[in-house]
């Protein structure tokens, strides 16, 4: 299988390499029970194994990144975890970048344990990037951040999610002096810039703190801390406040393409200021073409071509 020559150390550089060959599309590998049954495999651990074999065959050489959602594997117990472990290792061996969608987030030694499970050489479920929730404070993610940075991995912080229920938290206004989180008078990202003081939202504050971290960890480059930012649909674009995405010095995972309604045009419009940094993700839209590997491959190649055309960026936009 194709692998990028001279794999660079940072996730951002590896993403730039696969993007140049395959485009930015991330293929979500989410084997729900309904999907396994629809494919005729049965909602069993054996059916999950068959799913993993087929999607690996279809994805390698077609896209540059895959994103398994851990929950769909965990629900099958230890056998599902074994399949996930095999899927991650085989995908990375085939030259695919792996984003493990786990959305973990805790404090102290618990975060240390999570980071050890997913990031760095020898991690039992080693991935190139993982998703995390920041709502116990981004400063509590120190183990994740340091491990991602040293391993050349990426931490993708949920900042603006694709579900409407998340907006009440993400749009909430940050008040100064209310704690040590982003946008307060006590922690990183303080002062008069975005994400500080009255009138800035949680999502703005998170992006500001991500930018501060990346400037410190990778001066003049795209840093190891990225963000999950859902594209605004055309009919809601006027309701979604614009975010200062370039200032985060980050890569962005853009969920919600296809079944959740987002299009390549929505992604291009949302990330117009940094099109080379976005990783649009689709799952159900692509998996509906299965289980034939050729049909899956054709569906992924067609969507990948759409995104290559919609996001014609060179490098990582500076």
Quick check: 143 pLDDT over 60?
yes
- Reported as a single tens digit per residue, the pLDDT across 92-110 is 999 999 999 999 999 999 9
Does residue 306 carry a catalytic annotation? no
The CA–CA distances, whole Å, from 305 to 24, 30, 310 equal: 10, 22, 9
What per-residue confidence (pLDDT) applies to 258? Answer: 87
173-174/200-201 β-pairing: antiparallel
Phi/psi at 160 (nearest 5 deg)? Answer: -135, 105
Q: How far apart are CA 7 and CA 14, in angstroms?
A: 6
DSSP letter at 61? Answer: T
Cα Rg for the chain, rounded, in angstroms? 19
Rounded to two decimals, the pTM is: 0.90
Grade residue 190 by pLDDT with cuts at 50, 70 and 90: very low
- Reported as a single tens digit per residue, the pLDDT across 229-243 is 999 875 565 567 789
Tokens of 99: 């984003």
Task: Measure the N-to-C terminal CA separation of the chain; round to a whole number of Å.
Answer: 30
- Reported as a single tens digit per residue, the pLDDT across 29-84 is 999 999 999 999 999 999 999 999 999 999 999 999 999 999 999 999 999 999 99
Q: How far apart are CA 219 and CA 239, in angstroms?
A: 34
CB 233 within 8 A of CB 266: yes
Q: Which of 82, 86, 103, 284 is catalytic?
A: 103
What per-residue confidence (pLDDT) applies to 168? Answer: 87
């Amino acid at each position: 299988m194709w692998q990028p020559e001279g794999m660079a150390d940072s996730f951002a550089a590896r993403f730039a390499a696969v993007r140049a060959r395959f485009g930015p599309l991330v293929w979500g590998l989410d084997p729900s029970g309904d999907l396994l049954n629809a494919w005729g495999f049965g909602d069993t651990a054996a059916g999950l194994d068959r799913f993993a074999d087929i999607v690996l065959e279809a994805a390698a050489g077609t896209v540059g990144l895959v994103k398994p959602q851990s929950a769909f594997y965990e629900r099958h117990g230890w056998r599902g975890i074994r399949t996930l472990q095999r899927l991650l290792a085989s995908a990375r061996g085939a030259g695919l970048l792996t984003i493990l969608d786990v959305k973990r987030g805790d404090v102290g030694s618990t975060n240390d344990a999570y980071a050890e499970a997913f990031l760095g050489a020898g991690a039992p479920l080693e991935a190139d990037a993982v998703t995390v929730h920041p709502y116990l404070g981004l400063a509590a993610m120190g183990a994740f951040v340091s491990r991602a940075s040293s391993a050349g991995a990426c931490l993708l912080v949920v900042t603006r999610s694709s579900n409407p229920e998340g907006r009440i938290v993400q749009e909430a206004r940050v008040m100064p002096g209310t704690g040590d989180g982003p946008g307060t008078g006590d922690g990183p990202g303080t002062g008069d810039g975005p994400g500080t003081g009255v009138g800035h939202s949680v999502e703005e504050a998170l992006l500001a703190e991500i930018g501060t971290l990346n400037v410190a960890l990778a001066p003049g480059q795209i840093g190891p801390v990225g963000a999950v930012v859902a594209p605004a649909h055309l009919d809601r674009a006027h309701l979604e406040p614009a975010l200062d995405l370039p200032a985060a010095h980050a890569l962005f995972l853009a969920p919600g393409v296809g079944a959740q309604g987002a299009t390549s045009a929505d992604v291009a419009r949302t990330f117009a200021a940094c099109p080379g940094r976005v990783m649009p993700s689709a799952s159900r839209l692509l998996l509906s073409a299965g289980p034939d590997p050729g049909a899956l491959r054709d569906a992924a190649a067609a969507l990948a071509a759409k995104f290559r055309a919609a996001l014609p960026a060179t490098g990582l936009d500076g």
